[in-house]
Amino acid sequence: MIDKPTYEELEYRIMLLERESRWRKEAQHALQEREAYLKILFEYAPDIYILCDAKGKLIDANRAAEKVTGFDRSEVLGKDLFEAGIIDANQFEKAVNMLSKVASKSPTTPDEFIIHKKNGQSLAVELRAYPVELQNEPVVLMIARDMTRYRQDIESCRRLGDWFQRLFELDLDPVLVFNDDTGRIETANKASRCLFGYSEKELSNLCIEDLCNNGRGRDPSPEPLRAVTPGEAPVAFRGFQTKTGAALPAKIIVRKFSFQKQTWTVLRIR
């Protein structure tokens, strides 16, 4: 005959059950909060977020996807990307390769796709795909970014760069830019080429030491040019020499700047 538990034992077991129930509720609440947080991140992400299964059938999409494509998600959920008309049929092979890579648990590298809007317009996007799990099922998260603004920014940077290059080239003062670590001349404007008598290609193969002269010939250690703290613009006098070896005393303005983890010196000669 099995002995009945004592009152104290029953009381202890009830306490353990209540504690376990409390822990379960706390864990469930924390999980619900996390799911709500992730849903907010998904829903309000500025890029297009699309969830689909391994065959490309749409499971969910965020507000950015609706805004950019013009489709309400209720119109396309349950359809694949081609049936919904979002991706053109001529990109079928590229899309299949992308889904195949994700199926092997590997995220894809950025690739350009043309998507179709509801109004018939086309849009170039940069698309990435990631293998994720949803309710313990493998799904594909696609993140697409409108490349229109990116291309506009690239074009603006190119035009701005061309504009600054023209200003640099037409500057009446000779201006040289060289790398602090190597001393190699990176670029020189037209006035510099005329002053020293070198072509643009010849100057690009020289170091700043090749142009310095201390009054007795070539100066191999132009340290004052490299000792300037970035941001300063001191004025000094320095001896240079032309391609023919003629001495060229000059007043210089030295300025440094850092770019791509390297330090560069801008030398303006007066």
User: Does residue 87 carry a pLDDT above 70?
Assistant: yes
What amino acid occupies position 98? M
What's the rounded mean pLDDT across residues 94-100?
Answer: 87
User: Does residue 72 carry a pLDDT above 80?
Assistant: yes
Strands 48-52 and 58-61: what pairing? antiparallel
Looking up tokens 């822990």, which residue turns up? 23
Distance CA 247, CA 238 (A): 11
106 vs 223, residue with greater confidence? 106
Give the lowest-confidence range in 102-116, 153-167, 252-266.
252-266
pLDDT of the residue at 1: 52
Q: Give the global pTM.
A: 0.55
Distance CA 101, CA 110 (A): 13
For the stretch 11-70, pLDDT in tens is 777 777 777 777 877 777 777 777 777 788 888 888 999 998 888 889 899 999 999 889
Q: Which domains are delineated in the chain?
A: 44-151 (3.30.450.20), 171-269 (3.30.450.20)
For the stretch 180-236, pLDDT in tens is 888 889 999 999 999 999 999 999 888 888 888 755 544 545 555 555 555 555 666
What's the rounded mean pLDDT across residues 237-264?
Answer: 83
What's the rounded mean pLDDT across residues 126-130?
Answer: 92
Question: Alpha carbon of 254 to those of 71, 74, 193: distances in Å?
Answer: 58, 63, 18
